[in-house]
Amino acid sequence: MSTGALKLEPKSAGISTPRKKRPKQLAVVTECCTGCAGSPVCVAYCPVAECMYWVPDAEYPPFGRVEVDLLLCIGCRKCIGQGPDGAFLDGCPWDAIEMVAMETVEARIGQAMPV
């Protein structure tokens, strides 16, 4: 979930309107994310502005990872379904993005998600 952290580039671009319905699943980035050496493909395919963004690794600069703002995610699965130049991938090549049921996310964070 968004923690008010600074969302660094690269970050997703696209629609900036609030989601209209409650998604069944949300994209959750696991600890396996490598940030794809600063050029994460998942970010380019996300259709929601600032939903996916770069977070630097404080222990190992200049490396970092991608995070998902759970309040903005619409559960479209585009971040796990396409690869570079339109090539189809069966998920993230590092298995770093999981689609998690909304109820599971709410249980992890201890609160109900808005719409």
* CATH number, residue 28: 3.30.70
| The dihedral sign for the CA sequence 47, 50, 54, 58 | negative
On whether residue 101 sits in a domain, the answer given is: yes
Segments forming the whole domain that contains residue 58 = 8-108
Would 99 be classed as within a structural domain?
Answer: yes
Residue 1, in any domain of the structure: no
CB-CB contact of 54 with 41 (8 Å): no
Taking the model in full, what pTM does it have?
0.83
The pair of three-digit structure tokens given for residue 115, joined into one six-digit string: 């719409």
Assigned domain for 114 exists: no
Note the pLDDT tens digit of each residue in 48-91: 999 999 998 888 888 889 999 999 999 998 888 765 566 666 55
Specify the higher pLDDT residue, 51 or 8: 51
> Looking at the 3D structure of the chain, how many domains does it have?
1
Q: How many CB atoms lie within 10 A of CB 22?
A: 12
* 115 inside domain: no
Q: Give domain status of residue 63, yes or no.
A: yes
Residue 91 resides in a domain: yes
